[in-house]
Amino acid sequence: MGNEPRELQDFKQANRKTPQNLRYDALDARIKHALREQMLREQGAVCAYTMEAIGRSEAADCHVEHIRPQSADEANELDCRNMVLCAPGNSDLAQADWGANKKGGAEVDENNFVSPLNRNCETRLKFGANGDVRSANPEDTAAGDTIDLLNLNHRRLLDARSILIREYGLGAETRKPLTTSQAERLAAEIMRLDAHGWAQPYCVAIKQVAERYARQRKARAARRRSPKDA
């Protein structure tokens, strides 16, 4: 999260002389709602960990997640740079074995976790045309640890990504494959927010697959145009 809502600023100001009150659990419903709405706007209504759609038709399908768990960093549990909005909602946490719930209260740092607030987060994970995800660099152990910690190859997430990838006309199994120019246009446009300010779920995965698809089609076309070996 980047910006701090006014309600939270006022709370911190009112409690500046009583730092023991500066706890997330001390926030009232109004402040927590303001936090949630701010994060929802900043994240384009997608989960910071999994890129699932959140906060669109159901108010309780997500929760405020502390990247570094509150138990490990009590002094900064109201730091907006440590908070993101994630699926699932609190009522479903017990059943979920992916995303924020799979991560739980694990201690994370730059050596074992790629924060969604990290600017190079998108390039450190590589999504395949079948919906899978792996580390873009085999030597990037933090990226691999992140995938495992969040269970990003959980069947629920893998299927959701692969279905969208096929629906966009990417991959060998699609009924109507995109042309090279269509794939390039999709890669350029998929990260844009819609009229509601919402991002396309799994947009990073679709962008990567579209870019790779376009490059591969260009390479095949170039080989066909080149003279055959004598």
DSSP per-residue string spanning 109-165: -TTT---TTSTTHHHHEEE-TTS-EEESSTT-HHHHHHHHHHTTT-HHHHHHHHHHH
**Residue 76 belongs to a domain:** yes
| Average pLDDT per consecutive 10 residues, the chain (230 residues; last block may be shorter) | 86 91 92 93 96 83 89 79 87 76 91 93 95 96 97 96 93 78 95 95 97 92 71
Q: What's the pLDDT score for residue 73?
A: 67
Domain assignment of residue 5, yes or no:
yes
What pLDDT does residue 222 have?
85
150 in any annotated domain: no
Token digits of residue 74 = 């009590």
* Domain of 88, in residue numbers: 1-100
Residue 41 lies in a domain: yes
Q: Would you mind telling me the total number of residues written for the chain in this entry? A: 230
pLDDT at 230: 44
Total number of domains constituting the chain = 1
In this structure, the dihedral spanned by the alpha carbons of residues 198, 63, 15 and 11, taken in order and rounded to 10 degrees, is 30
pLDDT value of position 13: 94
Name the residue among 221, 193, 212 with its Cα closest to residue 130.
212
Residue 196, domain member (yes or no): no
Residues 178 and 181: their CA atoms lie apart, in Å, by 8
Whether 27 maps to a domain, the answer reads: yes
pLDDT attached to residue 92? 61
46 falls within a domain: yes
Determine the pLDDT at residue 1.
63
Q: Residue 190 falls within a domain, yes or no? A: no
